[in-house]
Every structure is written in structure tokens, then in C-alpha cells.
Structure 1
Amino acid sequence: MQFLEPMGAWALLALAAVLAFYLLKRQYEERTVPSTYLWRMALRDESASRPLERLRRSLLLILQLLAAALFALALMRPALPGHTAGEFVIVLDASASMQAADETGRTRMEEARQRAEELVRGLNALDRVTVLRAGTNVDVLTSRADRQTAIAAIRAAQSGSGGARMEEALSLARAMAQEIEGLGICVFSDASIAPVEGASLYAVGAAAENRALVSLAVEETASGGRAVARVANYGAACEIQLEGYADGVLCDVRTAQAGAGETVSVSFDVPPGAQRVEARLANGGALALDDARWWRRAEDARRTVVLAGEGNLFLEAALALRADIDVVRASVEEAPAIEGAQLYIFDGVLPQTLPQSGSLLCVNPPEGADILGISVAGAQTPQGAVHAGDRFSENLSLAGVALRTYRPLSGGEVILLCGDDAIAAWAESGAQRAAVIGFDLSDSNLPVKYDFPVLMLQLLDALAPDASMGVADAVVGEAVPVTASARAEAVSVITPAGESVSLAPPFPAAPFTGADEVGEYALVETLPEGEERAWFAVYMPAAESDVRAVAEDAAQAGGGAVRAAGREMTMWAVLLLLAALMLEWWVSRREN
């Protein structure tokens, strides 16, 4: 037998109070009695001459002492022994699937909180509890706290909109188990976990059907537009009900049949000129987070590129790959004075003073030049093959690329190498970016290789980002890479809740790591002439949408001792107390 509330033992003082009432001498007043029988009773009552009278044997006294003892026992919460661990770790799964609701509207997270609270209430008063929340990050809600603190943390825990880093949470629990002997690990999740010694899985939720929007694309036509949504059916065959909204107004409603486990396409009409399109499921199922997708019309922003040099057909052809670029040709002396350009290209020449804003692309710069920390050496003859470096090497083979001469570069990040020498490099200084190519394009066969347009497009996208491309949609919990304009004075992100998160200064802009909720976000660049906004959406992980299967309760090796403290006997103590009080009442009435 053990007691979950040892402090309830203070109620045993009630035993002394009951005895005191029986021991203290009662005071009497004089009365005239007409009967000797009553006289004998009066003599018996007055026979005691001391302040305390002798304790007489009484069934009523025994029952009252028993009731007081049972009252104290109930307050102490007796329980049969059920665990050996004095330390517990509660791991709460906070993934998006824990927001799935059953037929009564109760979510899996609500069930997990209830079951975790019941487990903690059943622990010994001296036990200590650590509560971990496993979402896109592992949060320590309490560390070796008492039961009341742990219960408050469990009640406050909320499920997130992303995945669950359950392995990290269990690794932390295992590390604690190495330091704390007999540590009990209790995991509350709707997913199975890898076997962990000493851990018990408390499965929550029931299998449910769900439908999820997995993509939305809008194709503009002469008469307006057409949106195509892809819907995944995680359940039995059913009818999909899709609503289409344009600029916040319902514009179309469509239905489609979807087989069990099937993904279908549903299209709807969009009015001409719509800036924002939303697809929404009317019968999404158990999970609401995946019932909507958004599309935004990109801003039609032009990029000004200043080209200085004698003229290079290869460079001009590469610039023509971007429809949003306006090329301004200028002399090397005039180029730095042209304001508002996104990119300055210097081919074979370099001004005495480089532009202080905008990106730089310097091709075959003169010996001794220094461009954002990239130094140019004297001309050399190639001694090795051309191969890719660390930056912009995606989809480059560079097979058969040859050079006549080149100028080795030092500093920055390597883009291309010839043997051990860097022949193309990348550097950033604050908001300004620069790419340097240390050879004349006419002295190489690179421009006639398919690698050249691939490399130039990557450089142009980094030096003069295409505003129409916006920012790629992301998944909750992932870092969103940001390529800001070289002319940006500040960069920030506005969340669906309206909060503004600053990314720069300082430059270069840091990736956005606050994508913690599903919805639309705005990347805001502050330029000298005003603000530019690029919209992107953040969605929950696709794997979280399938809530058809749930795990089952399981205890791993050594985990049997981490269940609750055992069967609580408080209710039996209360029932015995009521029985004792009823019997005391009956005896009292009988004696009177």
C-alpha cells in the first residue's frame, strides 16, 4: 500500500478531537427529580470529581474514531503499488495530425492531454515529471517538476501544424534515462514509435477519413482563368465538394468523384484579373489544416541591367533568357552613375569606382582588380581541366570545356576551377552581391556548351532575382531561403497573424525560420523607390493528412514499470467512510 497524498495524514488529528470530547468532564446544573430512578442516574453522572472523566467503553466512540480514520485515509489517497520509478518523462506528440477530430469534435491532442493528466494524477506525490512537446522543435515544458506543475504544462500544450521530431524527443529522454535510474518514459502519440527501452506508448485517436488539397495551379486565358486543384482522398470512395474563391468572393463550386485512396483533379473558373485565388474543400474530413490552397498573381516588376563593355553576343544572348530584364548599354564611365539598376555587368573593363548599390557581374576584369574581396591575378595558361566549385554547380557537367588563358581569382566562394585555380567566384558584402568570371568568353568554348545558359541563369537569378517567381511555397517547420534584391534596404516577412519578422539588415538576408503556421506570408523588400511584396504559402506536411491508421498502446522492454502508480483505493475509503457514518447515525439514534 502507498499513499498518493501523504499530507492528508494531518487529518488524523481528528481522532484526538473525538477523544477529547469524551474525556473532558461535562458540566451539570441542579434539578429536582420526582423519581429515585432518575436520582440514581444523576448520582452516576456526578460521580466524577476530576476535570477528566474515565473513558467508558462505547460503540458510538468506536464508530466515530473509525469515521475520522477513514476520512484521513481518503485524503491520503491510498493506492496499490504499481510503479518503481520516481522520475517520469511525458512526451506529447504535437504534429499536425494530432488536430484530427473525432465524431464528437474532440481532437487527438485533447485526448492526449486528458490521458497524460490522468497518468500524472496517479503518480506518487514525491515523483518528478519532465514534459516534452515534440513538434517541429522539441520543447521542454517542465523539467523534473511536481505533479501540479506538470499538469499545468500538459493542459497548456497545443498541437502544431507541422511534423513531430519524435526521434529527437526520445533521444533526449534516453539521455535522461542514462543519468536517472528507473526513469519512466511515456509517449502520447497517434503514430507508432521505434522500440525504446523503458518506454510506453499511449496511442490516442481513432482511425478517421480525411481529404486534402495537395496543389493548386492557375492558368490564365483570354476569357479569364482556370484553376486546377489536386485533391487526395484518404478514405472510402466519396464525392469531393470544392469551392473556388477569387479575391475573397465565391466564384465557383464543383464536385468530383474520388475513389478510395485516389487523388483527383478538380478545375473551376476564375474571373479575369483575379489577384488572389483560393480553393477550399467543403467536406474536408477529420483534419481542417489541409482544406485550403492559395495562389497569388506575381507582381510584374522589371529589372534594369546596365551592360558596359565593347559588346558580347554571348552575354546579350544570356540576358535575353529573362523576359523581365531591360538592358541599358553604357560606357564604363557612365555605368556607375546610372541609378536604380538591379545589376551592373562589366565585360573586360572596370570603372575606377564600383557602384555602391546593385549586383555586379564582372567578366575578364583587369589584373589587380578587387571586387568585393575577390582579387584578380595575372594571366596564366591552363594546366588542368575545368570543373565545378561549391556555388552554382547544379546541373553542370563542364565536359570538354577549354580555355586559352585565364586570370586566377582569390577570395569569395568558388564557382569554377581550372586545375587548382579558381576562375569564377562569388562574393557578398552587405546587400551587394558579385560574380567574377576570370577569363574572356571569346577565349573559351564554354559559351557554345549547354552548361553556359544553365550557369548564366543561375547567376542572373541570384544577382537580379525575378520578382515574378516570388518565393517558393514551403512546409511548416522548414527554413525558407530568401534572395533579396541587391538594392534592398530592409527585408522582412509578414506572417498570417500580421506579425512582421525582420530578416535584414544585416545583409545578406537570413533564411526565414518562422514558418510555424499554415497560411499566406508576404516577403517585403524596402527599396529606395518603395516596397515590393512577394507572396508565398506555407502548408502542413503531406504525410500528416493521412489519419486513417493509428498506433496501439505498447510497452517496450522495461516499460511495464512506468504505468500509473497502481490502482487507487480512494473510492473504497470514501465508501467505507459513508458506511461508518450511516452506522454511527443509527447507533446514536438507538441510544437516545
Structure 2
Amino acid sequence: MKWLAPLGFLGLIGLVVLLIIYVIKPTYQKRFVSSTYVWKHSLKFRKHKHPINKFQDLLLLILQVLTIIACAFVMAWPVIEAFKPDETVQRIAVIDASVSMNASNGEATRLERAVSEVSALADEVTQAGGEISVIMASEKAYFVSVRTTIATLPELRDSLSLLLDTQEESPLTDGSCDVAGAMKLAEEVLDETPKAKVVFYTDKDYYDKGNVEVVSVADPFEYNVAILDCRAVLEENYYSFEVDVACYGRDRGITFYFEAYGVNPAEGNGGNTVRGNLVATLERDEMVTLTFCAPKSKQDETDESGDPLYDPELTTFENVYAYESVWVYTSEEDSFGADNDFYIYGGAKQNLKVQYCSDEPNIFFRSVIRSLRNTQQANWDIDFTEVSIYDEGATEGYDLYIFERVMPRTVPKDGVVLFVNPASSPFATGITMSSYGRTGNFYLEAPIEHPINKNVLAERIQVTACRQMTVSDEYDVVLSCYGDPAFAVKNTDEQKIAVMAFELKYSDISMLTDFGRLFFQTFKYYFPSTVTNYNFEVGESVELNARAPSLTVRGHGDDVLVSTFPSTLALSEHGTYTLVQELPLTSELVMESIYVKIPNAESDFTTTLEELVNPNIAVPPVDLDYDLLLYFAGALVLLMFAEWWVHARKL
């Protein structure tokens, strides 16, 4: 028990006052006179009826003393103190392991400074008899130690040393770190020691830190020259290259270098290598866009104010219509080198040869292939060959064969074959054409959902003549006419065939947008682009597709074999990834590359972030003491009532 207001015991002075009252109280002598006989007789009778009267004076004194004591206790406010364990110093140290923690001031990296400060904190806490837990906020947060004491401090020191050991795998990510996961781990410690203090060692600043103590390990003299993004811009069939750059932490004049490889390759020539450089004056923390390889024809163009749109000094060469790769870099020795270069891929278009053979050529196939060549020029270099009606079409050397109303002597085996109302059944293809055909006005149907008939409104496609045909189980029927296949596709490693049982001149499909959509989606079905973008950021994912049964991803660690398409691959490391596939029909090896850059947020040394994720802390009650004031107050009331009752009964 403890007393919240010990001065209340001054109320016990009332006992002294009570004693004084009883001392100075007047006394009376007992005298007998004859006239008191009747009174004495009455008193004797009443005393016999209430024997307690002889103890009234003593009882009143006891009640009055207890009343004064109870009053003093009430004023002193008694409580029963709750159990409180001995409080020890508790710390939870969280280390930021994002890629920017690799920045250096020339003497130590930010990670090294953070580990050094955590080691010093561990010494301080354990020497004071406390405990410290250390969490590494890496790609996935993990404990370095849990509740380290003075006895286990050497183990923590060894673990911290391993974090900086160049022979071991670095805890640093190639992107941002798992701050949320680290704070979740901190919650596990806080569940048992809710008064532990969380300290976050990082190179970033926050407007709202919450209950976490943020310790910055950044050096104010550090600066970073960053190549934030690069892109190839295709205009009028020629490329120009835009580069976003910035200098964080100071103003700086920086030289940026440009090297393009495999430029404008020709037959028997892998292309040229072109180099150039540009000096840019960068203002502190401001992004600037540089342009390399602007075509000379654009140097005379001006903006609304009459200033040139393209600086002639930015032109290193012109008429770039193809390239294998571009490397943009700076040799500046800044504090952080991970963003000092950038690769651009996707400029080497894959050549695709298309042959169209028909005894009655129509403009619709010509138009749709011309449109396809324009829309896919960023990924494909499409060569279109139309065979004369007097010549026989080739059966090898092309990637896509279109035979309309004609039948080759042998079915091509090195490419995709599209038969349009073939004159006879193609040999060994699983297609059987009937001599019977339906005539009249029919509308097609889409019996299954398929990538080829996606968003194609089959019910509005009208045909007036359609051959009956049967196909093997290897085919997917994407359009049908009264239950019979009207358009079927086969996509196996041995054969890639599409067959249409009606001609365009006997249908209104060529007048509908569905024709272009159907042909384009057929093209994408057989010739999917491996990727739709060639530049990514660490932490993003890329959707992979392939023309082959499998695709191998190389460049970081062990090769990854992908055999299900489309497939999604998480990109956790920055640099170049190479995608390799072997085409099943020709055994040709196709190699493409993508580049993954570090996040721009990691390059920015100066931006203050909005809010730091905080762990959820179950705050314990401030005071768990048991209050006895009500009970003593109740006792006081009872004593006062008893004293009043006894006094009232006194004669």
C-alpha cells in the first residue's frame, strides 16, 4: 500500500485535540440528597433496561478516535501499488538496406556508418543492463539479433561484422528496402516489451516520423549525379535518344557519354559503333532532359518563341533506323555510382518475311499487312512478298505464308501457314476440306473464348458461301458457321497452321473493323512480342511471352527457365537481363535484352518523404494501482453514523 497524498496524515492532529477536550472536560462530584430518591430509582430502572450505557463514554471515545483516523486516511489517499517489474533499457535498431545506403563520403558507406552506430548503441544499452534487438530492412526484413544482452553481445558484434564482409552476400537491395516488414518484426518485440524504443538508421528524412526515432547516416557533403531514364524516340522511321539526368546535392557541370552499338546493320555487316559526348550544366536537384542523335533535318525546327528545338551540338549522327544497344554513362566520381550509366535495348528489329500467294489477289490482305507493318515497326521489320498468279509460291524461307484458293505442293514447315478457302485438303495437317459448301446468308459464331476472337463480334460477320471442313483435335475452332469450323488454328511445336473456310469476297468481314482485329490478333498469337517494354525499374515485374515452348532468362544468378506463357517475372536486381529462345520450326536462336534501373527515389538524396511506417504499439496503462479511497470513505461514513447513534442514545 502507498499513499498518494501523505500530507493528509496531518489530520491525525485531531487525536491530540480530542485528548485535550477530554482532559479539560468538567467533572462532577456525586452527592446524595433526599429529594433525589425518585430520580435515583428511575435511573436504576433505566440502567437495568440498557446495560450498554455504562460503556457509552468509552465507546464514544473509541468511535471518535477511529473517525479521526479514517478521515486522515481518506485525506492521504491510499492505494495498493500494482506489481511493476524492474525497468531495463530496451532498444530496437532498424537498419535501412536500400541501394542508396551504398553511397560513400570517401571514407565509409552509409551502411558502414549505420552498422557502426548500431554497434555503439548496443554497447551503451547492454552496459546499462538493457537489451537490444537489431533488424535489417533488406529486400525482405529479418532479425540480426533478438534481445541481445551483455552476455550475448559478442555474437551481435560478429553478426554486424558479417553484414560488412565483402566475402558474404551484401544485405543491400538493388532498390528500396522493406521498411513495412521491418516494423512488423519490431512489433513482435514490442508485444513483450512495449516500452522499447525503435531507432531507424537511414539516409532518408520524413515529415512525419511518428514514434520512431530516425537517425540519419547521410553526409551533407555527399552528392549524386544520376541518369534517371533513357528512351529511344522513333520519328519518321529514325531514332533520337532522350536522357533524363540530375545532380542531387550541388550544382555541377557534367560530361555525359553516348555509345551506340550495331547501328544500321546491313547484310554481312553487324552495324557501326558511334560515340559522342555532351557537357551539361546541372542545377542542384533539378532534372534536365538531354537529346542525343537528333536527325539533322530537325535542327532547323523552332518552338513557339522561335528558339531551335534541337541544339546542333546535341547531334552526334543522324538517320539511325536500327541499333542493337545504346550505353549512356558519366565518369563523374560522385558519392553513388549505381545510377551513373544506363542501357537502351529494343532497337534491333526482328526480320519477318511474309509471302502472299493467290490466284485472285485482293487488296484486303495487302492493306492489312501494310497496316501491320506500320503498327509493328518498333518490334518487327516486315518484308512483304506477293507472288504473281503465274508463279508458284515458295514453301521455305518465310515466316508467314498466306495461300488463298491455292495449294502448295508441300506444306511449309519453317513458318506459320494461313490457308484461305484452300482448293484441296492440305496433306498431313489434320484438315479435311469438303467439296460441299453452304450458300445463303449466314452469321458466324464464336464457340470458345480465344485470344484470336477476343473483342471480335462474330455474330455480325455475314458470309454467303462457306466450305464445310473438319479439323483434328489439335485445332481450336475460333469461328464457326452452323456448327462447322469456319476459322481454326493449330499451334504446336511441329506445325503452326490457320485455316479459313470462306473467302473475303463472300463475306462482309473485310468491311468491318473485326477483320483487322482478327488478323492482328492472329499475328500476335503466332508471333508474340517477348516483351512490350525494354526498360524497367527494380521492384517492377515484366510479362514474358515467347514463340518457342520455353524461354531462358540470363544475367543474374542462375538461369531461369520459363515454360508457361504469358508469365510474370519479378525484377529484383538492376542491370541487363538476356532473354533467349530457340524457335521450334527453324531452330533459330533469338536473343533479346532488357535493362532494369534502380528506382529514381533511391537516386534522389534530398527529397523528404511524407510518412514513416510505424509499428503498432500496445501502450500499457499508465497506472495500474488499486485505489482504496472509496473504501476508506465508506468506513468514515459508517463510523460517523455509529458515533451519532451512540451519542443519541446516551442519557
Check whether TM > 0.5: yes
AA in 2 matched with 1:279? V
Question: Of residues 155, 160, 166 in structure 2, which corresponds to 1:151?
Answer: 160
What's 1:108 paired with? 110
Say yes or no: does 1:525 pair with 2:581.
Answer: yes
Tell me the residue number matched to 1:251: 276
User: Structure 1 residue 463 and structure 2 residue 488: aligned?
Assistant: no
Distance 1:202 1:373 in 2: 71
User: Secondary structure at the residue paired with 1:158?
Assistant: coil
Match of 1:167 in 2: 180
The corresponding residue for 1:231 is: 245
Matched, 1:548 2:606: yes
The alignment of Structure 1 onto Structure 2 pairs a total of residues equal to 461
**CA displacement at 1:255 relative to structure 2:** 2.9
Confirm or deny that 1:314 pairs with 2:323.
Answer: no
Q: Is 1:99 the equivalent of 2:102? A: yes
Against the structure 1 CA distance between its residues 415 and 245, is the aligned structure 2 distance closer, same or farther, given a 3 Å change threshold? same
338 and 392 in structure 1: CA distance in 2 versus 1, 3 angstrom threshold: closer
> What is residue 536 of structure 1 aligned with on the other side?
594
8 Å contact from structure 1 (residues 198, 557) kept in 2? no
SS state of the match for residue 302, structure 1?
Answer: strand
- Where 2:573 maps in the other structure, the secondary structure is coil
Instruction: Note if contact 1:200-1:553 (Cα within 8 Å) is conserved in structure 2.
Output: no
Do the aligned residues in 1 keep the contact of 2:444 with 2:480 (CA within 8 Å)?
no
Tell me how far apart the structure 1 counterparts of residues 499 and 192 of structure 2 sit (CA, whole Å): 60
Tell me the SS of whatever aligns to 1:239.
strand
Distance 2:132 2:201 in 1: 18
Q: Secondary structure at the match of 2:114?
A: helix
Aligned residue number for residue 630 of structure 2: none
Point out the more displaced range, 401-410 or 242-251. Answer: 401-410
1:261 is paired with a residue whose SS is: coil
For 1:472-483, list aligned pairs within 5 A: 472-483=534-545
Is 2:206–2:608's contact at 8 Å kept on the other side of the alignment?
A: no
Superposed displacement of residue 95, structure 1: 2.6
Partner of residue 293, structure 1: 342
Other-structure match for 1:261: 286
Q: SS at 1:81's partner residue?
A: coil
Determine whether 1:134 maps to 2:148. no
- What's the offset of the Cα at 1:548? 0.5
Call closer, same or farther: CA 1:284–1:249 in 2, change over 3 Å.
Answer: farther
- Cα distance in 1 for residues equivalent to 2:509 and 2:545: 27
Partner residue, 2:230: 216
**C-alpha contact 2:95 2:202 (8 A) present in aligned 1:** yes
Q: For 1:430-441, list aligned pairs within 5 A.
A: none
Q: What are the equivalent positions in structure 2 for 1:272-283 lying under 5 Å apart?
A: 276-283=325-332
Return the offset for 1:315: 3.1
Change over 3 Å in CA distance of 1:295–1:349 after alignment to 2: same
Whichever of the two has the greater Rg, that structure is 2
Deviation at 1:91, TM superposition (A): 4.7
Deviation at 1:303, TM superposition (A): 1.8
Q: Distance in 2 between matches of 1:411 and 1:302?
A: 28
Mean Cα displacement is larger for which, 185-194 or 542-551? 185-194
Gaps of at least 5 residues in structure 2 are 1-85, 262-272, 293-313, 374-380, 621-651
User: Could you tell which deviates more after superposition, 185-194 or 317-326?
Assistant: 185-194
> RMSD of aligned C-alpha atoms?
6.0
CA contact 1:431–1:507 (8 Å) conserved in 2: no
Using the size of structure 2 for normalisation, the TM-score is 0.52
The answer on 1:338 being equivalent to 2:388 is no
Deviates more, 1:409-418 or 1:311-320: 409-418
TM-score between both structures, scaled by the size of structure 1: 0.56
Q: 1:464 Cα deviation (Å)?
A: 2.5
Give the direction of change, closer, same or farther, for the CA distance of 1:530–1:275 in structure 2 (3 Å limit).
Answer: same
Question: Residue by residue, what CA displacement relative to the aligned partner does 1:193-232 show, whole Å, maximum 9, x if unpaired?
Answer: 898998655444256653432343568999x986543324
Contact 1:254 1:266 in 2 (8 A): no
Q: Which amino acid aligns with 1:303?
A: L
| Corresponding letter in the other structure for 1:503 | L
Q: Give the counterpart letter for 2:604 in structure 1.
A: D
Is the contact made by 1:190 and 1:205 (CA closer than 8 Å) also made in structure 2?
A: yes
Deviation at 1:541, TM superposition (A): 2.0
| 2:277 maps to amino acid | D
Do the aligned partners of 2:541 and 2:569 also contact (CA within 8 Å) in 1? Answer: yes
Q: CA deviation at 1:364?
A: 8.1
Equivalent residue letter for 2:369: L
Give the Å deviation of 1:134.
3.3
Q: 1:300 to 1:549 in 2, by over 3 A?
A: closer
Q: Residue type matched to 1:255 in 2?
A: A
Shift of 1:291: 1.9
Cα displacement (A) at 1:242: 1.8
Shift of residue 352, structure 1, vs aligned partner: 13
Report the Cα distance in structure 2 between the residues aligned to 1:213 and 1:425, rounded to whole angstroms.
49
Q: Deviations over 1:253-274 (max 9, x none)?
A: 4334557524232434446887
Number of the residue aligned with 1:492: 552
What amino acid is the match of 1:181?
A: E
User: In 2, distance between residues paired with 1:414 and 1:173?
Assistant: 57
SS in 1 for 2:541: coil
Report the secondary structure of 1:114's partner residue: helix
- For 1:413 and 1:92, locate their aligned partners in 2 and report how far apart those are by CA, in whole Å: 55
Which residue identity is paired with 2:280?
T
Identity of counterpart residues, as a percentage?
A: 21
One-letter amino acid matched to 1:99: N
2:339 and 2:598 in contact (8 A); partners too: yes
What whole-Å deviation, never above 9, does each CA across 1:370-391 have from its counterpart, x for those lacking one? x9999x9x9995599x999684
Change (3 A) 1:151 1:424: farther
